[in-house]
Amino acid sequence: MASTRKIMHVVGARPNFMKTAPIMRAMQGRFEQVLVHTGQHYDDNMSQVFFEDLGLPQPDIYLGVGSASHAVQTARIMIALEEIMLAQRPDLVMVVGDVNSTLAAALVCSKLLIPVAHVEAGLRSFDREMPEEINRLVVDQVADLLLTPSRDGDAQLLKEGIPAERVQFVGNVMIDSLAHALERARESSTLADLGLEPGTFAVLTLHRPSNVDDPETLCGILAALTDIQQQLPIIFPIHPRTRGRIEAFGLAPMLEAAPNLRLTEPLGYIDFLRLYSSARLVLTDSGGLQEETTYLGIPCLTLRFNTERPVTVSEGTNQLVGNDPEAIRKAAFDVLEGRGKQGGIPEYWDGRTSERIAAACAAFFARQEAGA
Ligand code: UD1
């Protein structure tokens, strides 16, 4: 019986929370739900504030694994999750995105023969130096239900030999959270608190190892930002990893010499939405923000050479500029001179993806019952 099926959701890091929240809401009353938080992200402003902003229930189980190397972090999550899976025996485990917690959960479940559904399946940057790319490849190979945000994902999965009956195009679930929160974001005092008028500033996020772990690359990016902030203030909610690297590489004086590059602590979901939805321009190396700016029609310069979200470039406002300082400067000044990229909203980015995910899970159980 569909109503007695138990679905376990595993979240761990900031980009997971806005995907799982609408799914849990759509599944309410339809399935028994258990929420596990691995604790990959643990600072209040990287985790707890998202639970509050997104209306996510407090986790039923918290693993508290914290930060460590990839192997140690993934292994710790796997060891803890195996015990939980054996005790809880969910009928399906739902994982989202491409972080280490997603990988760990998928591996544990596949060995225990517990079905795994992967939301945001089929995305590929084709860059295996990115830890997330390895996570995406492995999770999609072992998942039983692959739910894709755009049709390029379906095509890619078929190319990789995944049987078509496991794959379903459902749309982009992050847009469900965005659409749901837009009105509340208008009430956020973030702009007033920072003394900003809509359309008069840029927003920056930066945390990819490829941008922040090499001193020369990071220094070049900061040099480009120093030039841009002379024309347009840049608000920079800084990831803890990036803050650590700037200090370790002795680059803090560059920030002091750029007064309009304004650092803030990482912001909660609602306050950050208020901020970037009012920006003239977004500069980022995040995955999600490429999509969020496409949905809102805001020019986005992605400081990467590739993206696993190509529809944001082919259909949306996203432009890949890499990390060469001159390319970043030029692209930013193009936007300021009115040559920002225009775009449209991709198919099924309509705020109803979580309903399609709930329906896909119900259909999965029905197929299982029918012995298909
Ligand atoms: C992780 C994800 C990445 C995602 C990002 C969003 C993986 C492989 N990477 O990267 O895909 O885009 O989250 O933020 O899963 N730290 C804190 N407090 C926290 C969390 C982290 O201070 O609450 C610091 C620690 O120094 C830690 C570092 O940030 O070592 C990196 O954290 P980690 O979770 O390993 O990777 P992210 O860079 O956050």
Quick: pLDDT tens for 258-277: 999 999 999 999 999 999 99
In angstroms, rounded to a whole number, what is the distance separating the alpha carbons of residues 120 and 28? 21
Catalytic residues: 207
Ligand 1: centre distance to CA 241 (Å): 7
pLDDT over threshold 70, residue 252: yes
* 3-state DSSP assignment of residue 271: helix
In angstroms, rounded to a whole number, what is the distance separating the alpha carbons of residues 126 and 367? 33
Q: Whose CA is nearest to atom 15 of ligand 1?
A: 99
pLDDT range class, residue 246, cuts 50, 70, 90: very high
Average pLDDT of the chain to the nearest whole number: 97
Produce one character per residue of 347-363: b if its CB has 16 or more CB atoms within 10 Å, e if not: ebbebbbbbbbbebbbe
Ligand 1: centre distance to CA 13 (Å): 7
> What is the reported pLDDT for 340?
87
pLDDT over threshold 80, residue 345: yes
> What is the reported pLDDT for 312?
98
Ligand 1: centre distance to CA 333 (Å): 31
State pTM to two decimals.
0.96
pLDDT over threshold 60, residue 16: yes
Ligand 1: centre distance to CA 365 (Å): 34
Mean pLDDT value across residues 165-181: 98
Q: Whose CA is nearest to atom 31 of ligand 1?
A: 241
Mean pLDDT value across residues 274-301: 98
Mean pLDDT value across residues 145-167: 98
> What is the reported pLDDT for 3?
55
Q: Hey, what are 172's tokens?
A: 């982009």
Among 241, 243, 309, the mutation site with the greatest number of ligand 1 atoms within 8 A of its Cβ is 241
pLDDT over threshold 70, residue 2: no
Among 41, 134, 213, the mutation site with the greatest number of ligand 1 atoms within 8 A of its Cβ is 41
In angstroms, rounded to a whole number, what is the distance separating the alpha carbons of residues 133 and 116? 18
Quick: pLDDT tens for 3-14: 589 999 999 999
